[in-house]
Homo-oligomer: A and B are copies of this chain.
C-alpha cells in the first residue's frame, strides 16, 4: 500500500460498510433485503427468513477482567437474538465461531458455553454449528442467528410515518452506567488489589451491561396486543444513533422528549454520582438492547397501559428536523455520539 491510505476512523463504521457494499448486486430472487437493517431477509414460502451476524472481540467489546465467561457467552447470543426481535421475528438457530488463545482452558470454554446454553434455552434457539479455532490474541466470538417472521409481520427501519409515536421498552442508559462502574472498580482494584469490589449498590446496572436480555417478551406481547410496529430497531449504539437510523431510512424527522425517557432509579443515582446527565446516558450510551419502535396513533390505546413500553416522542416531517426536547423545553438537534469501535 504505497498509494493512498485512508484511515478507517475517517469514515466510521456505517460509511465504511456502505462503501464496501456498493459494488454488490443482489443475484438471487429470494434475497429481499441485504445490508442496511437489523437482519437480512430471505423469502421462503409464506415466511421470511432473517439472518444476522455479530462479532465480539476481547479488549474491544469486552474486558475479561470483569466480564464472567458465562455472561459473555449469554450476551453473545442475546445481542444476536435482539436483532431478530428488531425485525419482529422469532429466532430459531445459531452458529457460534470461537477463536481462543492458549490461555483458555477447556473449562473456560465450557464456561462460555454454559452461558450460550442458558441463552439458547431462554430464547428457544438451536445451536447448530460453528467452528472452534486457536487465536494468537485473545478471545473472539462470532455468532450468526437465523430467525423467521410471517411476511406481513416484518418490521423494517424504513416503515415509519409522520405522526407515528416513538416507543422504547424497558429503561435506557443503565448498561452504560454499569460499564462506568465496572471500569471504575477495575481501576481501583488495579491500584489496590487487596480491595474487594463494591458492587452491591450497582447490581442492576452492572447486570444490564454484563447480561443484557433480548426483548422477545415484548415481541410476543405486541402480537397479543395486535400491534404491528411501523418500524423497529434495537438500541445497540444508543437511542440517538438508533433513532436517526429510523429517521434516515423512513425519510422523517423526530422529536424526543427528555422528560419521557425511561431511566431507572439506579441509573439516575449513579449518573449523579459520576456527574453525568442521565438523559445523555440514554441517548449515547448504547448496549441497552431494548426495542425502539414506532406505532401509528390508532394503536396508542393498545399499548398505553403496558408497564414496560414507554412513548418517548413522535415522528415528524423531515423538514421539521430531528430534535431532542430537554426538560426545560429547549429543543436541541439530535446527534449520534454512540460508541465508536474505531
Annotate A3-37 by CB proximity to B: 1 below 8 A, 0 otherwise. 11111111101001101110110111011011100
Given contacts A49-B44, A136-B138, A341-B134, contact A106 B10 (CB under 8 A): yes
Complex: A27 Cα to B124 Cα, angstroms: 6
A129 and B40 within 8 A (CB): yes
Across the interface, do A133 and B57 meet the contact criterion of CB distance under 8 Å?
A: yes
Binary CB contact string for chain A from 293 to 322 against chain B (1 if under 8 A, 0 otherwise): 000000000000000000000000000000
Interface residues on chain A, number (Cβ under 8 Å): 82
Chain B residue numbers with a CB within 8 Å of A27 are 120, 124-126
For residue A275, CB closer than 8 A to chain B, the reply is no
Query: In the assembled complex, how far is the CB of residue A275 from the closest CB belonging to chain B, in whole angstroms?
Result: 29
The stretch that binds B, out of A90-98, A187-195, A218-226, A254-262, is A90-98
Given A35-B128, A131-B53, CB of A28 within 8 Å of CB of B109: no
Q: Which residue of the partner chain, among B20, B131, B137, B144, contacts A95 with CB atoms under 8 Å?
A: B144
Of the candidates B42, B97, B106, the one whose C-beta lies within 8 Å of that of A53 is B97
Residue from the list B35, B99, B131 in contact with A130, Cβ < 8 A: B35
Copies of this chain, whole number: 2
A1–B107 touching, CB < 8 Å? yes
Cβ-defined contact, B60 with A135, below 8 A? yes
A104 interfacial contact with B, CB 8 Å: yes
Tell yes or no: A39 within 8 A of B by CB. yes
CB of A293, distance to nearest CB on chain B (Å): 21
- Interface presence of A152 (CB below 8 A): no
A339 to B135, CA, bound (A): 15
Chain A 250-284: CB-based contact to B (< 8 A → 1; otherwise 0): 00000000000000000000000000000000000
- Which residue in chain B gives the minimum CB-CB distance to A117? B23
Q: Mark A116-128, 1 if CB is under 8 A from B, else 0.
A: 0100100011111
Judge whether A110 is part of the interface by a CB distance below 8 angstroms.
yes
Question: Nearest chain-B residue to A14 (Cβ)?
Answer: B132
**A183 contacts the other chain (Cβ, under 8 Å)?**
no
Where the two chains meet, the residues of A that have a C-beta atom closer than 8 Å to any C-beta of B are 1, 3-11, 13, 16-17, 19-21, 23-24, 26-28, 30-31, 33-35, 39-40, 42, 44-45, 47, 49, 51-55, 57-61, 92-93, 95, 97-100, 102, 104-110, 113, 117, 120, 124-138, 140, 142, 144, 146, 341-342
